[in-house]
Structure 1
Amino acid sequence: MATQTAQVAVETTVTDAVARARAAAAWWAGQGWDGRRRALLAWKRTLAARIEQLADQIRDETGKPHGDAVLEVMLAVEHLDWAARNARRVLRRRKVPSGLLAANHAASVGYEPLGVVGVIGPWNYPVYTPLGSISYALAAGNAVVFKPSEHTPGVGRWLAAAWAEAVPHEHGPAVFQAVTGGGEVGAALCRAGVDKLAFTGSTATGRKVMAACAETLTPVVVEAGGKDALIVAADADLDAAARAAAFGGFGNAGQTCAGVERVYVERSAYEPFLAKLGELARGTTPGEEPDARYGRMTTPTQAAIVAAHIDDAIAKGGRAVVGGPGSVRPPFVDPVVLAEVPEDSLAVTEETFGPTVVVNPVRDLDEAVERANASRYGLAASVFTGSRRTAVELASRLRAGAVSVNAVLGFAAVPALPFGGVGDSGFGRIHGADGLREFSRPKSVTRQRFTAPIDLLRLDRSPAALQRAAKLFHLRHARG
């Protein structure tokens, strides 16, 4: 009975939040492009002015170094600024060509708010990642109910409080609300009647979210896991490639969905690259210090998953170039570089989400692309090469939502670029113009300007009119 009572309380809390958001959404949509822009930029200034305070909150809950938390907020604010300033340009109503059959009509398309958007955020980047949905949904004219990870509830509450302060109107606080708790709160949000739900988290949980939303035909955006590959060509700058692999693989304790987990190196560059990456790994140590290279594993269970992947890789014939099973010393995991790991190993097929990198040699770039694309994930990828032509060609062949050339995670700092994956990495897009449209409903409008010379859209149309129309159709479409 106690469990049932608690569940009812959760459902009521979330349902009430969505109801408040529904009432506030009408006011928010009514503010128009200029009013929403002013409010969003006011919120942006609050986040920027208090970046140190917000970074401290992130650090307290995730364990990441203070500098990394500051960088996360900076990236999030850049996206918020872009969404606020570009929503009108992307979503306003505009004319489109009417075509020959409807030449007597003026045609236009515009994008309207959905209403209320639910956002379920992750713990690894508790500001940058959810704001990729929240900022764009708000800029598109929607109210938002945000469920932060149960590991970072304080960040969610901080963001909502900052919003309420920046938008001091009767309806302001209800336009963006945070509801905290565990998975039961997320499940309740799926069932609460939101007009769209944006989820970031594991693929397994993403499937559960989709199943819950399917009950009410609630559309979803899913950014799930990744097993991103970095390809290193023989002509690449190996020092730069190694630094990028270290940052993408070990940064944030490897807890980055679009980080580097697999590296495929052309054989002639393999040993030099492995030596350079090994040297960087040996010089990197996690810790609690504010200036540590990276911090602890945020969740208590993640270290065990990392350990299992390391053990499996070695058991199947891979070798530990740096670190190994002893590198896992909860809550920390030291950098681990694994080499010649079989492609069916857990360290290659499953998302590790820890500071481990698998480096395997390939005979050529074709094999590198084949192995990179063999994953069921497809979030992002990276290519290092000295040839611009090769970079463009490889980027076009990689099955991923985003590709960085001679860098990793380059797309994360470009607000105009859409972000999202394919396969088990999810679907839908956040960021950029596509992100604004993701949280909008297109509406088409036609207006008849004059009576059509050949009027076919009537019950008593003339056979002669249809004949003339068919002749024109043949001349237009059936001839070379």
Structure 2
Amino acid sequence: MSESSFTMDAEWNALYIDGEWVDAGDRDDIAVENPATRETVTSVPAATEDDVDRAYEAAAEAQSEWADRPAEERAAVVEDAIDLLDEHRDDILQSLAVESGSANAKAFAEWQTAQGMCYHAAGLADELDTETQDSMIPGKQNHVERVPMGVVGVISPWNFPFNLSMRAVAPALATGNAVVLKPASATPVTGGLLLARLFDEAGLPDGLLNVVPGYGSDIGDRVAGHPELDVMAFTGSTDVGKRVAATAAENLALPAMELGGNNPHVVTEDADLDAAVDSAVFGSFLHQGQVCISINRHLVHEDVYDEYVERLAERAENLPVGDPTDRENVIGPVIDEGQRDEMLDYVERTVEAGATLETGGEADDLFVEPTVLSDAENDMAAACNETFGPIAPVIPFADDEEAVELANDTEYGLAASVHAGDLDRARDLADAIDAGMVHVNDQPINEEPSVPFGGVKASGIGRYDGDAILEELTQTKWISVQEEQREYPF
């Protein structure tokens, strides 16, 4: 491969099936657009259902031999991928900027987290040990081992395409599974084909990772409902996730769903306001708010409400907006017109309902201004919906009971954050909030390879990361050995 094999200028016009780069042929093209410039930077073939079938067949064929290999051999492939991640870091960061509108801080965090996922995955290869359990039957030994599930399907989103694909792909491979990956059609390179190239160069045997870019409307049901599928790992909206999970369950495949969020950021009157606002700016505006775990609602005690709003709006106004290939810019473009129009509609409806627009609320093409809304209420459009944009509605509360009531008044339960001067009080608030992840004196955009990641309520099923991922990608197998002749009652 050339030195530029991980940039958007490289050749990406192929599928990756059974270790082969499959030319586009007469398939339809997916044009990949730079959202900052609106230029088409590359195109990839749109996979068909026949391509999906070939990918699953290749995965099923290759998986059993891969599972039988020593754990250190599987880990070695992932470790070689880590070396390539280091070698091509700058190219990967540039690709994320061009394809997904990622400003430098976000792109680096995504690359760094993906690298951490690979380190953790390499360690998981050694955790499929056999445990011996006591038996109530004399002379019997019970052995419980973890074995791979088989074939893992991955449907990944466009907002953190590289990391959110890697967090399923790397541990699946390390634990002896094979993978069929369908990246989002807006980010088929950084969410899919780039991973194929990475593991291809790392020496992964043929058939174990297959990448089929395509439109969900064309191949999504086949990816989620293939008879060879054993685990369906999906990250995306709750509405789509429900359909994906139902389709997978028809073949008794295990759904691992990380879905939508409406994440509260609670600030009490005794909080360190400097720290709370610092957290708020990062938690609301990183990657233009296009993060499932970003702050969606700022719940602020009425005693510090006015000062908080003023400081947050001032910080938002001063964030540099522009093409993310310029590393000075913090706010890049949103992914497309549909997302932009929905964001602006939420703002407009919220203002019409009585909120005050403190700053922002407009867009220059796909660059949506960082927006702060005061006098907001929990049932206003920008608060009760997952805006997935740089929009910060600020809602007052009078006491901790009301803060918890507001925080939990949503169908979602993905992430939350709490700032309070007293840590015991902060922990009490964190315990009372219905969310899979709550961060004290921080903001909710956190993901660490060693810690379980996931939500409750409509925010998903199962957990990624940590040892919890073993529950999604492996299953227990009980083997008993009767070492002494057993006596039966008849």
- TM-score calculated relative to the size of structure 1: 0.88
Q: Does 1:255 align with 2:293?
A: no
1:241 to 276, 281, 287: 276
Q: CA deviation at 1:95?
A: 2.4
Aligned to 1:96: 133
Taking the aligned partners of 2:166 and 2:426, their CA distance within structure 1 comes to 31
Could you tell me which residue of structure 1 aligns to residue 19 of structure 2? none
For residue 410 of structure 1, report the CA deviation from its aligned partner. 6.1
Gaps of 5+ in 2: 1-26, 29-45
Change (3 A) 1:97 1:416: farther
Structure 1 residues 286 and 11, CA gap change in structure 2 (3 angstroms): same
Q: Please state how far the C-alpha of 1:9 moved relative to its aligned partner.
A: 7.2
C-alpha contact (below 8 Å) 1:94/1:108 kept by paired residues: yes
**Aligned twin of 2:321:** 286
Question: Is the aligned partner of 1:160 residue 2:193?
Answer: no
SS at match of 1:310: helix
Larger radius of gyration: 1
Correspondence for 1:440: 474
Contact 2:78 2:122 in 1 (8 A): yes
Aligned to 1:178: 211
Does structure 1 residue 144 correspond to structure 2 residue 179? yes
Q: Can you list the C-alpha shifts for 1:143-185, whole angstroms capped at 9, x where unaligned?
A: 11111110011221111011111116xxx14211211111122
C-alpha deviations, 1:386-433, integer Å up to 9, x for none? Answer: 222122222221111111111124641x21111111121111111010
- Aligned residues, how many? 442
Q: Which moved more, 1:60-69 or 1:393-402?
A: 60-69
8 Å contact kept, 2:71–2:126: yes
> In structure 2, what is the Cα distance between the partners aligned to 1:66 and 1:242?
21
Match status 1:297 vs 2:331: no
2:225 is aligned with 1:187: no
Q: Percent identity?
A: 33
Q: Which amino acid in 2 is paired with 1:310?
A: V
Give distance in 2, aligned partners of 1:121 and 1:59: 18
1:422-441 correspondence runs (5 A): 422-441=456-475
With 401-410 and 260-269 compared, the bigger mean Cα shift is at 401-410
| C-alpha distance in 1 between matches for 2:233 and 2:100 | 22
Q: Which has a greater percent of helix?
A: 1
Q: Distance in 1 between matches of 2:334 and 2:147?
A: 41
Deviation at 1:104, TM superposition (A): 4.9
When residues 384 and 97 of structure 1 are mapped into structure 2, their CA distance, relative to the original with a 3 A threshold, is farther
Q: Hey, what's the Cα distance between the residues in 2 that align with 1:103 and 1:401? A: 43
Q: Which residue of 2 aligns with 1:39?
A: 77
Cα distance in 2 for partners of 1:319, 1:427 equals 37
Counterpart position of 2:9: none
Deviation at 1:449, TM superposition (A): 4.6
Q: Distance in 1 between matches of 2:139 and 2:298?
A: 58
> What's the counterpart of residue 310 of structure 1?
347
Q: Distance between the aligned counterparts of 2:472 and 2:212, measured in 1? A: 23
Contact 2:59 2:178 in 1 (8 A): yes
5+ long unaligned stretches in structure 1: 461-480
Secondary structure, counterpart of 1:261 in structure 2: strand
TM-superposition CA deviations, 1:50-69 (whole Å, max 9, x none): 01111111111111123421
Partner of 2:384: 349
Q: Does 1:275 align with 2:310?
A: yes
Contact 1:316 1:342 in 2 (8 A): no
Q: Using a 3 Å threshold, how does the CA distance of structure 1 residues 390 and 355 change in structure 2: closer, same or farther? A: same
Paired amino acid for 1:60: V
Paired residue secondary structure (2:468): helix
Partners in 1 of 2:88 and 2:369 — Cα distance?
Answer: 32
- CA spacing shift, 1:88–1:360, aligned 2, 3 Å: same
Residue 141 of structure 1 deviates from its aligned partner by: 1.0
